[in-house]
Chains A and B, each alone.
Chain A
Amino acid sequence: MLFFCGGMFSVYAAPAIGSPSRPQFVQNKSVAQSLKTLDIGVLAFRGEKDARLKWHETIKYLNSKINDVHFRMQAFTLPQMRRAVAERTVAFILTNPGNYIELEAEYGVSRIVTLDSGKGNETGMRGTIGSAIVVRSDHQDLRTLSDLQNKSLMAVSKHAFGGFQVVWWALENHKIDPFSDLSRIEFAGFPQDKIAYAVINRRVDAGVLSACVLEEMIAEGKIKKGVLRVLHPQSYDYFPCKVSTRLYPDWPFSKLRSTPNNLAKRVAQALLAMPADSDASRSGGYAGWTIHMDYQPVHKLFRGLQIGPYRWMRSTNFQQLWERYRHWIVIFILSLLWGIWHMVRVEHLVALRTQQLSKVNQDLKAEMDERQKAEERVRSHQSELAHVSRISAAGELASGMAHEINQPLSAINSYAQGTAWRLQAGEMKVDELIEVHQLISRQAERAGTIIQRFRGFLRKQEIICTDIDINRAIEEAMELFSAEAQKRNVNIELHLAQRLPPVCAEMIQVEQVFLNLMRNATEAMQELDIDSRILKIYSEDNGDRVLVEFHDNGPGISDEVAAHLFDPFFTTRDEGMGLGLSISRSIVESHGGQLVLLEYGKQGLVLQASWPLYKGDDKNER
Chain B
Amino acid sequence: MNAEVSVFIVDDDDSVRHSLRWLLESVKLRVETFSSAESFLQSVDTDHAGCLILDVRMPGMNGLELQQALIASTSTLPIIILTGHGDVPMAVRAMSEGAFDFVQKPFNGPQLLDRVEAAITRSKQLLEEKKTRNGLQACYAMLTPRERQVMNMIASGKANKVIAIEMGIGQRTVEVHRHRVMEKMQAHSVAELIHFYLQLQKNI
Contacts and interface: CB of A to CB of B under 8 A. Distances in A.
A399 interface: yes
B85 A421 contact: no
A408 B109 contact: no
A123 to B, nearest CB: 144
A418 B15 CA distance: 14
A413 B109 contact: yes
B108 A407 contact: no
Contacts of B24: 418
A391 to B, nearest CB: 15
A410 interface: yes
A407 B15 contact: yes
A407 B57 CA distance: 12
Contacts of A411: 13, 15-16, 18-19
A443 B16 CA distance: 10
- Sorted from nearest, which 3 A-B pairs have the closest CB atoms? A417-B109, A414-B19, A402-B85
Contacts of A442: 15
A565 B87 CA distance: 44
Contacts of B107: 410, 413-414
Output the residue of B22, B86, B110 with the most chain A CB within 10 A. Answer: B22
A439 interface: yes
A445 to B, nearest CB: 11
B129 interface: no
A417 B108 contact: yes
Given A415-B23, A418-B22, A421-B26, A410 B16 contact: yes
Contact of B57 (A403, A414, A416): A403
Interface residues of B, number: 25
B128 to A, nearest CB: 29
Contact of B19 (A406, A415, A422): A415
A418 B25 contact: yes
Contacts of B108: 413, 417
A54 interface: no
Interface of B: 13, 15-16, 18-20, 22-27, 57, 82, 84-87, 105-110, 112
Nearest to B27: A421
Q: Which residue among B15, B24, B57, B107 has the maximum number of chain A CB atoms within 10 Å of its CB?
A: B15
B86 A409 contact: no
B110 A410 contact: no
A410 B19 contact: yes
Given A408-B15, A446-B15, A418 B105 contact: no
Interface of A: 399, 402-403, 406-422, 425, 436, 439, 442-443, 446
> Most chain-A Cβ atoms within 10 A of its Cβ — which of B23, B107, B110?
B23
B15 A421 contact: no
B85 A406 contact: yes
B53 to A, nearest CB: 11
Contacts of A436: 22
Given A407-B105, A409-B106, A402 B86 contact: yes
B19 A412 contact: yes
28 contacts: A399-B85, A399-B86, A402-B86, A403-B85, A406-B84, A406-B106, A407-B15, A407-B84, A410-B16, A410-B19, A410-B106, A411-B13, A411-B19, A412-B19, A413-B109, A414-B16, A417-B23, A418-B22, A418-B25, A419-B22, A419-B26, A421-B23, A421-B109, A439-B15, A439-B18, A439-B22, A442-B15, A443-B19
Contact of B13 (A402, A407, A419, A422): A407
A414 B20 contact: yes
A420 B107 CA distance: 15
Nearest to A442: B15
